[in-house]
């Protein structure tokens, strides 16, 4: 038995395209894992690098604010850092992490004006997409499957050996299974071993890495089946190759692009701009409205501050933070609609994934690696709840008019590092 396998392996490796194809696949897989790990390392470094800078910034603000001890100033001038740690598997599927910010500073003012800030990235570099393992698997690996399998039978037929093989082999089915197994096994090894090394080095959980492996194998298997089905039609090698490459074009480029077009027209989202415009009107309208009206509206949301000293004179921080929060409340319906629009787009993409293997694969990989649109929304949720903590931290100082001293700065809630 092993003799037969070894014999097939020798035959396979003697083919002109076999070894170079496998070597190239392994090289691309290694390069993509390396590039992905370097990028994620860069992101981790950035997150680590900002910590001392952030601490120094807060210390400098604490120095002058604590002289007067005005809590309103402390809340106004102190920015608090938040960040979205990459998951262990993010290196293999960078997803939206190159265009969505993974670090953001916020303060206790209206959040809706701060939440949608973008990062300074070079859009021309983001345009073609990142070179990561998910890309190699989704786009390039099928081409290698096609190279290795398109002439499995037709090649033998064209070389005039097919009859001979049929006559010689004791078990024809087993012969083809061996040949297919060798090719697909080799390809999977070339793809997966670099990934596994990367996953181990990144400390990924074996369960999640297994998801990657299973979907990768299923995806490769899909392409192998397609190759075998086309190969069984009895066409020439060259027709097989052209048909398969055309299928690749349709399945990985054309249909996903058409799908994107369809989703964007079915689910338009422009509430983002609307909600920021709305929030600004509400916040700044606060300056022109009677103070008592603003305070009563705020006390509906936060009755615990109802009985503190009433606002007098032209300006008080209580009143200022009250209308900041009311701006967020006014924009909440649009913020919700905006978010629902994004979630609907994500949901539709998931549905396309059932029909299009490439889309399904990317959806699962990026969901598992927590680098998709949804991961960005979860980060926004975490920022929302942190913002709430911050406000709740500052409110007692502001509403009870407690002086805010240098020691109070360190008491501020810190972002939870995951």
Partner 1 sequence: MNPIRLIAADEWRLMRRNRVAMLGLVMLLALSVIAALTSIAQRDNSDAIRARFQAQADQAFDGAPARHPHRMVHYGHFVFRPLPALAAFDPGVDAFTGNTIYLEGHRQNSANFGDVRQSSLLVRFGQLTPAFVLQALAPLILIFIGFGIVARERERGTIRQLFAHGVAPRALLFGKALGLGGIAALMLAPGVLALGWLIAFEGAPLAPSLTLLAGYAAYLGIWVLLIVIASSLAAHARTALMALIGIWAFTVILLPRIAPDVALATNPTLTRLETDIAIKEDLRKMGDSHNPDDPYFNAFKQRTLKQYGVEKVEDLPVNYRGLLAVEGEKLTSKLFDDYADRQFAAQKAQSRFTDTVGLLSPAIALRRLSMSAAGTDLEGHRRFLSQAEGYRFAIVQQLNQLQATAITYDDDSNRNKDPEAGRRVRIDPKNWQKVPDFRYQAAATGEKLQAALPGMLTLLGWLVVLGFGMRLAIRRLADAA
Contacts (CB under 8 A) with partner 1, residues 253-272: 253-254, 256-261, 263-265, 269-270, 272
The DSSP 8-state label assigned to residue 417 in this structure reads P
- E strand segments, 107-184: none
Q: Assess 252 for contact with partner 1 (CB under 8 A).
A: yes
Footprint (CB under 8 A) of partner 1, residues 10-49: 17, 28, 31, 35, 38-39, 42, 46, 49
* Core vs surface per residue 273-304: b (16+ CB within 10 A) or e: eebbebbeebbeebeeeebeebbebbeeeeee
Nearer to partner 1, 147 or 178 (CB): 147
With a CB cutoff of 8 Å and minimum separation 6, the contacts of 311 are: 291, 292, 295, 318, 319
**Cα 156 from chain centre:** 45
**Cα 113 from chain centre:** 23
Q: How far apart are CA 31 and CA 37, in angstroms?
A: 10
Q: Which of 151, 156, 328, 408 binds partner 1 (CB under 8 A)?
A: 151
- Per rule CB under 8 A, count of chain residues that contact partner 1: 99
141-149 vs 172-202: helix axis angle to the nearest 10?
A: 160
Nearer to partner 1, 151 or 156 (CB): 151
Scanning 210-218, 329-337, 368-376, 386-394 for contacts with partner 1 by CB under 8 A, the matching segment is: 368-376
Contact 138, 361 (CB under 8 A): yes
Footprint (CB under 8 A) of partner 1, residues 76-105: 79, 81, 95-96, 99-101, 103-105
Print the SS3 string covering 331-366.
HHHHHHHHHHHHHHHHHHHHHHHHHCHHHHHHHHHH
Q: Assess 75 for contact with partner 1 (CB under 8 A).
A: no
Q: Assess 117 for contact with partner 1 (CB under 8 A).
A: yes
Nearer to partner 1, 89 or 263 (CB): 263
Nearer to partner 1, 202 or 349 (CB): 349
Footprint (CB under 8 A) of partner 1, residues 371-400: 372-373, 376
Q: Assess 363 for contact with partner 1 (CB under 8 A).
A: yes
Footprint (CB under 8 A) of partner 1, residues 119-138: 119-131, 135
Footprint (CB under 8 A) of partner 1, residues 281-310: 281, 284, 287-288
Scanning 174-182, 197-205, 225-233, 341-349 for contacts with partner 1 by CB under 8 A, the matching segment is: 341-349
Q: Which of 29, 202, 362, 368 binds partner 1 (CB under 8 A)?
A: 362
Residue 327: CB minimum distance to partner 1, A: 12
- Residue 388 host element (H or E): helix 373-399
Could you tell me which of 311, 307, 275 has the C-alpha nearest to residue 290?
311
Hey, CA dihedral for 211, 212, 213, 216, is it positive or negative? positive
Q: Which of 359, 364, 383, 390 binds partner 1 (CB under 8 A)?
A: 359
Nearer to partner 1, 214 or 273 (CB): 273
Residue 180: CB minimum distance to partner 1, A: 20
């Amino acid at each position: 038995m092993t003799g037969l396998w070894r014999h097939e392996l020798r035959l396979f490796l003697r083919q002109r395209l076999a070894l170079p194809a496998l070597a190239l696949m392994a090289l691309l897989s290694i390069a993509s894992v390396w590039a992905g790990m370097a990028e994620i390392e860069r992101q981790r470094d950035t997150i680590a690098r900002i910590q001392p800078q952030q601490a120094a910034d807060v210390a400098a603000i604490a120095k002058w604010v604590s002289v007067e001890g005005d809590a309103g100033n402390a809340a106004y001038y102190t920015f608090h850092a938040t960040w979205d740690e990459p998951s262990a598997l993010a290196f293999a599927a960078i997803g939206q992490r190159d265009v969505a910010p993974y670090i953001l500073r916020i303060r206790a003012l209206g959040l809706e004006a701060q939440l949608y800030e973008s990062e300074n990235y070079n859009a021309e570099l983001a345009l073609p997409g990142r070179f990561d393992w998910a890309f190699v698997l989704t786009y390039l690996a099928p081409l290698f499957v096609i190279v290795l399998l398109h002439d499995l039978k037709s090649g033998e037929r064209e070389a005039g050996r097919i009859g001979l093989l049929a006559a010689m082999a004791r078990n024809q089915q087993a012969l083809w299974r061996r040949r297919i197994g060798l090719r697909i096994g080799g390809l999977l090894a070339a793809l997966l071993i670099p990934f596994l090394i990367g996953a181990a080095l990144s400390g990924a959980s074996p369960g999640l890495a297994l998801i990657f492996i299973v979907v990768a194998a299923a995806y490769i298997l899909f392409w192998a089946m397609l190759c075998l089905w086309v190969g069984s039609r009895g066409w020439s090698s060259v027709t097989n190759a052209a048909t398969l490459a055309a299928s690749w074009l349709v399945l990985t480029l054309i249909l996903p692009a058409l799908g994107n077009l369809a989703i964007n027209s079915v689910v338009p989202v422009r509430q983002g701009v609307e909600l920021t415009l709305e929030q600004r009107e509400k916040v700044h309208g606060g300056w022109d409205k009677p103070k008592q009206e603003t305070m009563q509206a705020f006390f509906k949301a936060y009755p615990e501050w109802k009985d503190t000293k009433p606002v007098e004179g032209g300006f008080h921080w209580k009143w200022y933070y009250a209308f900041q929060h009311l701006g967020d409340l006014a924009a909440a319906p649009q913020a919700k609609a905006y978010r629902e629009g994004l979630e609907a787009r994500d949901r539709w993409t998931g549905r396309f994934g059932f029909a299009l293997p490439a889309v399904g694969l990317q959806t699962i990989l990026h969901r598992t690696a927590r680098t998709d649109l949804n991961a960005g929304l979860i980060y926004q949720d975490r920022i929302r709840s942190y913002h709430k903590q911050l406000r709740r931290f500052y409110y007692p100082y502001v509403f009870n008019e407690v002086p805010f001293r240098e020691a109070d700065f360190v008491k501020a809630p810190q972002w939870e590092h995951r």
